[in-house]
Structure 1
Amino acid sequence: MDQMDRLMVVEVEIGSLSTADSPRTTGVDQEHVAALAVVQTPLPPITVHRPSMRVIDGLHRLRAAELRGQRKIAVRYFDGGDADAFVLAVESNVTHGLPLTTADRKRAAGRIIASHPQWSDRMIASVSGIAPGTVADIRRRAPGGRTGEESRIGHDGRVRPINGAEGRRLASELIAQNPGLSLRQVARVASISPETVRDVRNRMMRGEDPVPRRGRQASHEVRVEPPRLGRGPSAVPDRDAAQDRAEAVKRLKADPALRFSEIGRTLLRLLNLHTISMEEWDQIIDKVPPHCRGVVAYLASESAEMWTEVAVRVQSKVAETA
């Protein structure tokens, strides 16, 4: 959707614009319009689909301009097709301004699934502002479901197979051979998403098959003994792993090179956060308010990815000095 000139702004007659086909089915919020109408500074330009002159983003700003008695309004044009114009409308009204209702987001996701069936659930979720699992549910209920689909385009632009059983197995082998690889490094080689790699790694840590049962059934392959992470013939119980982490951090705290430098103390504080057990994490997770869970999950995912990158970079320095 790079078909919008983000720099050129033109003045357009308000009467020439259409407000049809908006993802906002509840209509205009008059209080929001009134609040915008009294703003003294110029409001940002609205976005308009040039072929149809339909307002993509800025309906409330348009109504505020009308309330002020303006005849013209600042516009940026988008020259893409109708389907892409709708996607841009949804994305714009999720990321700023008066947000779409949950019902509107789900309805929009259903329409995007129909117009862009090749997009992954995560890609559509990022545009519509709902969870990937919700998108998957909407897709399953849609006419035709997943019939005939073999691959989808992910949020990173890469095409990946829907049945990632083989990718999961390859990822498990890579992780077992080199646990220091980052999620993205494994994802690139195995042609699966970083989130799928994280799930594979977590399954291996629990001693489970990296391919879920439904994935094994879909690929018509027999179960194989999964690679395991940890010491000895089976995965290390979480309680022992937490104790090991705590002991390692305790040893680091005794090192003057870390204790007596600001950077060292910062590192120790960060590492100390990860010495609690999964049982303690379960207690924390249970107390996360429902309306905060999405943000917490996102931040936890990003933090895990960051720590994996840190591990790889520190390990590379170990190799340099070895």
Structure 2
Amino acid sequence: MTELTLIATILILFLSYNHTEAALQVGFYRDKCPSAETIIRNEVAKAFVDNRGIAPGLVRLHFHDCFVRYRVFLCQGCDGSILIDSTSTNQAEKDGPPNGITLRGLEVIDNAKAKLEATCKGTVSCADILAYAARDSIVITGGLYWDVPAGRRDGRISKAAETSDIPAPFLQLGEITQSFANKNLSQHDMVALLGAHTIGRSHCSSFADRLYNFSSTGRQDPSLNPPFAQLLKQQCPRNSQGGVSQTDVVFMNQSPFTMDPSYYGNLFQHNGLFTSDQTLLDSQETTRQIAFYATQGLAWQADFVQAMIKMSQIQVLTGTEGEIHANCRKIN
């Protein structure tokens, strides 16, 4: 073993040990900030009354925070870095291609953070606020409750270029499966998590190619149910440049504010909004899972909870790593 290899091995063991010793835990703020979860839950509930679309927005915000690109010796997963604002010298994650104008719920995190800083200064990380807010958003839309393992620390790095690992809506089954596998999430986890598309809305630009530019002949995607495609065309008309508006949106589902298994039933009707949704029928294994979830909503929700807990621990910073941001929009 060369000296360089030995040093690398020791460093890896040290990092592994550090993460093991400072693992996330349920009830992390029980003594440090007893009202933390209540404060966050109240902010989510208050925002939901004014705008029910906040709930899916917060779930997506947490997902996009966790799915940034992995770099060796650089933990950049669920670390709150998606909340950091861009500066004159750095374009941050929130302004990366998959995010841009599509992120919602940032003000909920800001409000919760302000109250937490007033209650227990420098204690609750922005990354943990995101994890709790995502859980509370699922619960408020009818999903199952779960205890959130906490103790995440906030990252000091946020770069738009690192958002390239966030799964794109045009991916095929093999590609999206690999995207989740890169984060140590199984295909089973993936199918369960994509059920979150049962709530919320999407910008027309995320699936317009399926309507107008699917092939060189300009036909629509043949995997789209024709009546559904026609409805989408009415909601997402072409503009004078041949594209669609960057601001037009459609609901993801016929029950966009309720965590129910209708997403899976829609796939069998070829009413999946994204290619990455409809492609879930491209294997026998995923098709069986979808058929099961379509009729067994409680089983899906239980699997969804387990997958969310697993996802929320991707490359977290713990212990003395990172920092606790005083303001979620900037590094201390």
**TM-score, scaled relative to structure 1:** 0.29
Q: Identify the structure with the greater helix proportion.
A: 1
Asked which structure has the greater CA Rg, the reply is 1
Q: Identify the structure with the greater strand proportion.
A: 1
**TM-score, scaled relative to structure 2:** 0.28
Which has the bigger relative contact order, CA under 8 A and spacing at least 6?
2
